[in-house]
Structure 1
Amino acid sequence: MIQMIYRLFIELTNRKSTSRLLAKFSQSKMSRLFIPSFSRIYHINQLEMEKPINEYQSLHAFFTRKLKSDARTIFQDPLSVISPVDATIEDMGTIALDHSISVKGKKYSVSEMLGGNDKVQKYLNGTYIIFYLSPSNYHRIHSPISGKVLSQRAIGTKSYPVNKYGIKYGKRPLSKNYRIITEMYYNGVSMTMVKVGAMFINSIEILHKNAEVEKGEEMAYFSFGSTVVLLFEGDTFTPALKSLPCPIQVGECIGYLKETRMD
């Protein structure tokens, strides 16, 4: 019953008109009046922000804020993988024989998540990691590795909540929501980053334009709360995380690609 009511509410409220109105308001000068209360409610660390709070001209500008250049330290081991976002790592596991992952007791098809079967086989027995960004988090997305960008595409239309209730009761939001999929390559290893849009505002703005990226380089940003999924092929990734859920920041090491040792 809870699941049915939750889905009905989302279907009734998640419309293009609602999304446009919310997006328009968040980018208006009027919305700046809500910045102080937003910062207070979500405990935003103003000391690490690039600009003083009174210089942001809209709620959207504040939400997509940059940080000071020294606010995050990028772990530099060549074969390390860093967190691409400030978030909570909610789940991690092995991609099953049927190419599915299990998140909060719900199964997701990797094929459906990636929008097709053509690149799924390589991820069999690989590792998946789920990063959930709350409204309190810094919402810019950085490259988890140095390497080549093999492909990038957007799929999906509507977006449903990706918080713990959305994951539990929603209609497979990680594989249904609007999302941008970036496949990357380094040292013989392929990795895919799935950037999943959240309810109402689907905006995922891509910033990088080059075919190669450096670890820690800014790649995109989310408008409002969202989720990132990392997929690693086969046995190419060794995690460095000890327990979940795990709060994490951009630049912190989450594991290593193959041919490296754990220190």
Structure 2
Amino acid sequence: MIKSLYRLMIELTNRRWTSALLQSFARSKWSRWAIPSFSRIYNINEREMERELKEYPSLHEFFIRRLKEGARITDESPDSVVSPVDAVIENIGSIQSSRIITVKGKDYSISEMLGENKAKKYTDGTYMIFYLSPSHYHRIHSPVTGKVADQWVLGSKSYPVNKWGLKYGRSTLSKNYRSITEVMHGTASIAIVKVGAMFVNSIELIHEGDQLEKGKEMAYFTFGSTVILLFEKGRFELNPSIKTPAHIKVGERIGNIL
């Protein structure tokens, strides 16, 4: 009963017109009056922001804010993999031979998440799930230096990706709107899956060309969401100090490419 009610509520609110209304308000000058309360409620660290609170013309501009130079330090070890986002690492595990990952007791299909043609190479590999709440910095940085091998978009609607969305949503991680970037670091392939959140399916790619540099911006979310990293079998070694749930910041080492 709870599951059905929850899904009905999301279906009713996750429509094109509700998304348009939310986007219209967030980008309007009227939304700037909501910024101080938003910052206070979500305990935003204003000292690390690039601009003063009063300088943001809209809630949208505040949400996609940049940080001051030096606010995040990127691990420079040649084969290190760093966190692409400020987030909570909610889950880490092995991709099963049936090409699924299990998160909070639910199975998610890698074939659906990436597309059937892309899923095979990640069988028996490693996945990491990074959840961004509204309180987090929402720009996405490259976890490695490498060449973009492919980019594609799948899905349309988006259920929330908080604990209720993961519990009651319709395969949120593998069916939500998502933008996928596949990067080659040497001979190792890494899939960076950027999952859209409730209402707003906006994931903006900002990198130019096919080269990514570790720690540099590559995209941003316009609403809280999730990033999933997928690694091939035997090509990734996790930083042993990471225990979920783990709070992490952009540029911090999460492991090494083997």
TM-score using structure 1 length: 0.97
Question: Aligned partners of 1:164 and 1:255: how far apart in 2?
Answer: 26
Corresponding residue for residue 166 of structure 1: 165
| SS, match of residue 120 in structure 1 | helix
Partner of 2:32: 32
1:143 to 2:142 alignment: yes
- How do 1:56-71 residues align onto structure 2 when only pairs under 5 Å count? 56-71=56-71
8 Å Cα contact 2:242-2:254 kept in structure 1: no
Any idea what SS the aligned residue of 1:93 has? strand
Distance 2:58 2:256 in 1: 39
Code of the aligned partner of 1:143: S
Match of residue 118 from structure 2: 119
Q: How does 1:76-115 map to 2 (within 5 A)?
A: 76-114=76-114
Aligned to 2:201: 202
Question: 1:261 — aligned with what?
Answer: none
2:44 is aligned to 44
Aligned partners of 1:148 and 1:104: how far apart in 2?
A: 33
Amino acid at match of 1:198: A
Does 1:75 pair with 2:75? yes
Which residue does the alignment assign to 2:217? 218
User: 1:118, CA displacement in angstroms?
Assistant: 1.1
Corresponding residue SS for 2:70? coil
Q: Deviation digits for residues 91-143 of structure 1, max 9, x if unmatched?
A: 010000100000111100100001x2112111111000000000000000000
What CA distance in whole angstroms lies between the structure 2 residues aligned with 1:213 and 1:44?
28
User: What displacement does 1:27 show?
Assistant: 0.2
3-state SS of paired residue (1:23): helix
Identity across matched positions, percent: 59
Q: For 2:158, what is the secondary structure of its paired residue?
A: coil
Cα distance in 2 between the residues matched to 1:197 and 1:177? 6
Q: Displacement, 1:254?
A: 0.4
SS at match of 2:167: helix
Q: Structure 1 counterpart of 2:190, which letter? A: M
Q: Which amino acid aligns with 1:254?
A: I
Quote how far apart the aligned CAs of 1:69 are: 1.1
In the alignment, the residues of structure 1 paired with residue 11 and residue 200 of structure 2 have an alpha-carbon distance, to the nearest angstrom, of 14
Q: Cα deviations across residues 169-198 of structure 1 (Å, max 9, x unaligned)?
A: 111111111110000001210000000000
Q: CA deviation at 1:12?
A: 1.1
* Counterpart AA for 2:130: F
Q: Distance in 2 between matches of 1:55 and 1:184?
A: 36
Partners of 1:92 and 1:4 in 2: how far apart?
Answer: 29
Counterpart CA distance in 2 for 1:66 and 1:173 is: 28
Is 1:153 the equivalent of 2:136?
no
- Aligned residue pairs total 257
Instruction: Return the letter of the residue paired with 1:126.
Output: G
Aligned to 1:257: 257
Q: Which consecutive aligned stretches of 4+ in structure 1 deviate over 3 angstroms post-superposition?
A: none
Describe the SS at the equivalent of 1:61: helix
Instruction: Look up the equivalent residue of 1:188 and give its one-letter code.
Output: T
Q: 2:119 and 2:11 mapped to 1: Cα distance?
A: 30
Is contact 2:207–2:219 with CA below 8 Å preserved after alignment?
Answer: yes
Q: For 1:176 and 1:121, locate their aligned partners in 2 and report how far apart those are by CA, in whole Å.
A: 18
Residue 181 of structure 2 corresponds to 182
User: What are the superposed Cα offsets for residues 5-55 of structure 1, whole Å, 9 maximum, x if unpaired?
Assistant: 111111111110000000000000000000000000000000000000000
TM normalised by structure 2 equals 0.98
How many Å separate the matches in 2 of 1:53 and 1:63?
11
